[in-house]
Every structure is written in structure tokens, then in C-alpha cells.
Structure 1
Amino acid sequence: MTTHCLKTKLWTLLLITFTVYTTHAQTNTNQSNSIKDSLYIQKVEGKKDRPKVLHAEPLYIDLIRDLGARKGEREWNVGLGLTDNITHDEYTALIEYEWAPIDRLGLEVELPFSIYYPTISDAATPGSSLHSIKLAAQYTFFVSEKKKLSMAVGYIHEFQLTDFKNYQNDTFFTGNVYNPFVVVAKRWGQNFHTLLYTGPQFSTRYADNSQQTDWQINSNFHYMIPGSRNFIGLEFNKEIKKSDFDMTIRPQMRVEVTEHLLVGIVTGIPIKRENERFSTFLRLIYEPSH
């Protein structure tokens, strides 16, 4: 046997060994991730007397509480955002607390702030404010672990507030927003998630008795990373005002920092740049033990 032939056979043997080892390691990793996914799903869903389906929750237009929420669940959220508009920048912040007083019912209180900074000299910008006091409720009326499907109805009420600069001279409450909505969510297998969140938004202003009706249609697609609670996904936030249609696409990701703390990162890309350009949003999610 020649030296060349011996070297060829040796390299072939090494290649086969490496391929088998890599395939075996990848199989073990996939099996390990699959087991972790199954255990996480079992942890969320595994109470037959109180059925619940694990769904990925969107990060920008989030839910009032998990679909199929169980009594005692609660969560704190802090959000920070920046939106680049044509004439000004908008800095946003929110503080949000949500909890489930009984099975399947979620309640929420949110305080959203907006601060505006002009980017063009002498540009007319909105006034900075605590935008509103938001109170919300959501009830999951249908849960099917077999079909991996959940449905809920909810209602958000906003008490709109005047700008900071007008606290001394103006009416503190300036109007109301009434927002009933429906949520339908479906998980496909262990890792793929879809969700539709939609409903009308009725606004009234005290100053001129004006009324306005908008429609919000938010569709979502998420992929949960195998072996983790992390996910990547897309939100399609659509708004219809009379004959005007706007949509912002929001790529996003959620990262688990600790068992109780998660971080969500969102980018906003409007399909038409009439007033708004790119935006970013960061959400800190803290889930105490329950």
C-alpha cells in the first residue's frame, strides 16, 4: 500500500468520524432543546383543572395579561421609546402593572408619558404630557390545549390629560378613549406563534365635543428560540382613519435575563413616511413569583 493511499484512507476515516460526531452532537442539542421546550410548555400549561396555552406576547402593543391567565399572576413593565418624526423627536416612557385577580381575567393600569423635542426651528410640536391614565381588562373566554388556540375579549379606557404646561390654567382631563378589542392566538407546533389583536377606538374631546373613530388591526408572527424563552418576531400595526391607512412593521426580539426578568427590543419601520420615520422601543418585563 502506498503512502498516498494510506493518507487518503486516514483522511477519509477522520472525515467520517467528524461527521458522525457532529451529527450526534447536533442531534443531542436538538433533543436537549426539544426537552427544554416541552418542559417550559408543561410548566406554563400543566394544570388540567386550569387550562392555558403558551403564546408569544407582542412587545409593542402588548396584551393586558397572558391569554388564559391564572389567579395570582402579575407583571411589571417599564417601556422607553424614541420616534423620529419629520419636525420633532418624540421620547416616550410607560409604567405598567398587570395582574390576574381570578382565572382568565387580566387587569392593567398604565401611565404613558410623551416628551417632544423640535428638530426644525420654529416647528409646532405637541406639548409634553402624561398622555393619559389607562385602565384595562381582558377575559379569555376560549382555551384549547389540543388545538393550541386561545381567544379573548377586552376593553381599554383612557382618561386623556392636558399638557404639563397647562396644569395651572386648563382642565386636567381633556377627553376619553374607548377601545374594545378581540384577541385570537394560535401556536403551531412548539415554536411558531401567530396572534391577531383588533378593535375600534372611539375618541372624544371635551374642548370642542369632537369625536373620532379609528380601527386598529395588529397581526403578529413570532418564533421562540428552541430551548429558551427568547423569541424573534414581527408586529404589523395597522391603523385605519376614515380613508387613511397606516402601517408600521416592528421587528422585535425578547431576551431572558433571569427567571423573572426579560428584555424586549423593538424597531419601528413605517410603510409611508408622512409624519413618522424610524422608531425604537425597549420594554423591561419583571414577573414576580406567584
Structure 2
Amino acid sequence: MAGALIAFTAGPYAVAPQTAAVAHADPKPSTKELRSKALKLADQLEQLTEQYNGLKVKLSQSQRAADVATENAERQEKSLEAIRQKVGSLAATSYMQGGSDPTVSFVASQDPQAVLDQAATLHYFAKQDSTQVLGLMRAMQSAQRARKSAEGRAKQVKDLRSQLDSQRKKVTGTYSKVRGTLVDRDPTQLANLPVVGTGKAAQALRLAMGKRGRPYVWGASGPSTFDCSGLTMWAYKQVGINLPHYTGSQWNAGTHVSRGQLQPGDLVFFYSDLHHMGMYVGNGMMLHAPHTGDVVKIASMSGRPFAGGVRVA
């Protein structure tokens, strides 16, 4: 603004105010800068994912501890209630019998020994139950404290996991946007970006990406050569999912998804007879084994009639 005022007051040949106020847009980041940012985000996402997985394990352990502590407290409470009822019954009997002088009861009784035996028995059980009640109360209090502590730990871990999951989703969204911008500018960059995610679909795609450059061979299913359904079958087999070596059967091996719902690792099919397929990578691109004389590579899905997508995992 100061520059504009100087120019305006400098003389008759000064720049007009309206043209001097035009702002210049910030330069767009270069392809190299975008790729660097994408790689940093992917690395950050991997760290967050591992932290999330660690908290999942801790939460499972805390919840198990809370369940065990709760069961223990419930057992102690049931035992205490049984003793409570027994002591109450003994107390009532003692009170009823204590209404007269024990000596009179002894003399008036037809069976004095029975009175002595009953009195001694009542005294014995009352004494024993009193000791047991105290022990059970202590055990119950200890069990309840353990239960509250375990439940508190479980809640704390659950809250942390929720916060971490929110952060992970935010970074994933940012990564997807940066990757999309980069691939729109230079589609070849997609091959150099990591496949993010811990699900089996992402794992299978990550493994399949390692087979880029391997030759297409009809009927082959790896580990060195592949045809289109052989590549997807091999990749998913490595993560514990068995797919048949036939596009038509793989079409029925999972949940059908639309083109707009595709996620990395989903199977994509082409032509009405489903004679070609690949694995979705992202941004309208797929990994596939094209045909004889070609190699496993990333290619655009455009140019082939899209039949549908299948989510296996």
C-alpha cells in the first residue's frame, strides 16, 4: 500500500490506484514439492497407524482386565450375600433364644444337653461367619477397586484411540488430496507413491505393486509371471485370501462397488464378458497384467468399458 501511494503521488505518470492494488497469487508448489509432501504425509500416516494398532492391543488387554475384575467382584458379592443371609438367620435365632435367662432355659428344658449343644453351635458359627464376613468384605472391596481401575484404564485408552483415529483420518484425507493433485499433474508419479493402509486390500495391492515390470504370461499366477487374474489371485493369496484363477469367479468373490466407491486394492473388471481385470490403485488408475508381450504396470482405467468393481476385503 505504501508503494502504491508513492507511485500515485510521484507525478503525472504514476500508476493508477486501481491497477496498483492487484494482488499476485502464490506460486503453485512444484511436482517435486508435492511428491515430497506426499511422502512425508504417508510416513506420518504410517506412524499414526502403528500407534493406533498399539492402542487397539492395549484397549483389548484393558477390557479383558476389566471383565475379569468385574466377574471377581460379582463372585465376592454373591458370596457375601449368602453369608449375610446365614448370619442374619443365626442372629434371629440367638435373639429369640436369648429372650429368657439361659439358666432358666437350661433347667426347664427336657433336654439340657441339647440347649448346651445348640448354644455352643450358635456361638461357634456366629464367630466363624463373622471372620468370614470380614474376609469377604475385604476381598469384595479389593475386587471392586480393581474393577474400577481396569475400567478407568480401558476408558482412557479408548479415548486416546478415538483421538488418534480422528487424527489418522485427517492425515489420510490430506494425503489423498496431495496425491490427487500430484497425479493429475503427472500420472507417472502414482507408481512412486506408497500404498497406505493396513487392511488386507491395501496389503495385497502393496505386494502386487512390487511385481511391476514382470512379464505377462497366459495362465501364469506368479511369482515371476502373471496373467490378469493370476496377478490378483497371487496378491490376495499372500494375505490369506484365496481367489480362483478366473475373472468370472473373482467377480463373485466379494461385494460389488460402483466406480465412485472404489478403494485401493479393490478388483476392477472390464468388458461385458469380464475377460480383463486389475487392482484399483487410485485416481482412476489400476495395476494390471495387460496382454502377451507386455508387463505388469499401472495404467489408466479409461479406454476400456468398465464392468464394475469388487471389494474382496
Smaller-chain TM-score range? under 0.3
Q: Which has the larger radius of gyration?
A: 2
| Bigger helix share | 2
| Bigger strand share | 1
